[in-house]
Amino acid sequence: MTSAPKNPTGPRLIATDLDGTLLRDDKSVSDRTIAALAAAEEAGIEVFFVTGRPARWMDVVSAHVHGHGLAICANGAAVVDLHAGGRIIEVRPLERARALAVVHALRAAAPGTSFAVELTTGIHYEPSYPPFYLDPGATVAIAEKLLHEEPEGAGAPVLKLLAHHPELAPDDFLALARTAAGDLGSITRSSPTALLEISGLGVSKASTLELCCAERGIAPEEVVAFGDMPNDLEMLSWAGMSYAMGNAHPDVVAAASGRTVANNEDGVAIVIERILAERRHATT
């Protein structure tokens, strides 16, 4: 069952998260969702994938991109052209000095925290960082070494810093980190574990989506957004229409203007189908 206020003009852009939202738990895109995305583009509605994933993990949806081919990755830190093999065309970096200050603040506030650094060129991590999706080509070293560059400005831009704690509850770790380092960067989470993602101050899915929409003359009320985790909160609050998935975090349910069924039940596709049916009805 879905519910949300109607937008009399209809949306011009759909912004959807991937993991836990558009993708099923096995990371597949269902046939129904593929058809719904194609139908939206055919109807003249742009589709943006807006995710915490880096560009190199976008192969799960790259075949389903139409129109402009752009995606917003790394929680707003990168705009990626999926038609060009995931080429990063815009970066909103986290300054290395600020990233290092976050490392020091979190080490003091939450001893046992380990870090990874996501650059435009790939991920690097500390020896104690857990083996989520470790890249065999990555540098393994303490965060201070990973963030060092010589000379200054010579290193690849930092997209985000990742921080993991082995014992704290995820939401408790997020609250603690925001208290300790919230003035240094934008801190959020999308994982079910105590894994935080730190971007440049003011960088979020919402702020980068707003920039992309402004370039197209699209207002917030012409956007419908979908999400399930805290890193979607700003985007769902900014969009004129927003849907929390049936499997969403409680804070996401509270922030969204509507709710749809879970990702494994094609919740995004169901809403898109209804939007297109209402549009067809309005023109007949």
Q: What is the pLDDT along the chain (284 residues), one digit of tens a residue?
A: 444 444 445 899 999 999 999 999 999 999 999 999 999 999 999 999 999 999 888 888 877 777 678 899 999 999 999 988 889 999 999 999 999 999 999 999 999 999 999 999 999 999 999 977 667 788 999 999 999 988 877 789 999 999 999 999 999 999 999 999 999 999 999 999 999 999 999 999 999 999 999 999 999 999 999 999 999 999 999 999 999 999 999 999 999 999 999 999 999 999 999 999 998 877 76
For residues 246 and 172, give the distance between their C-alpha atoms in angstroms, rounded to a whole number.
23
Element housing 175 (H / E): helix 170-181
CATH number for the domain spanning 218: value is: 3.40.50.1000
Asked if 78 contacts 122 with a C-beta cutoff of 8 angstroms, the reply is no
Q: How much is the pTM?
A: 0.92
- The residue assigned the tokens 């560059």 is 149
Count, residues in the chain: 284
- Domain-terminating residue out of 199, 217, 251: 199
Domain presence at residue 8: no
- One domain, residues 195 and 210: no
To the nearest 10 degrees (0 to 180), the angle between helices 96-109 and 170-181 is 120
- Domain-terminating residue out of 199, 223, 246: 199
- Angle at the Cα of 202 from the Cα atoms of 199 and 205, rounded to 5 degrees: 70
- One domain, residues 145 and 109: yes
To the nearest 10 degrees (0 to 180), the angle between helices 267-282 and 31-42 is 30
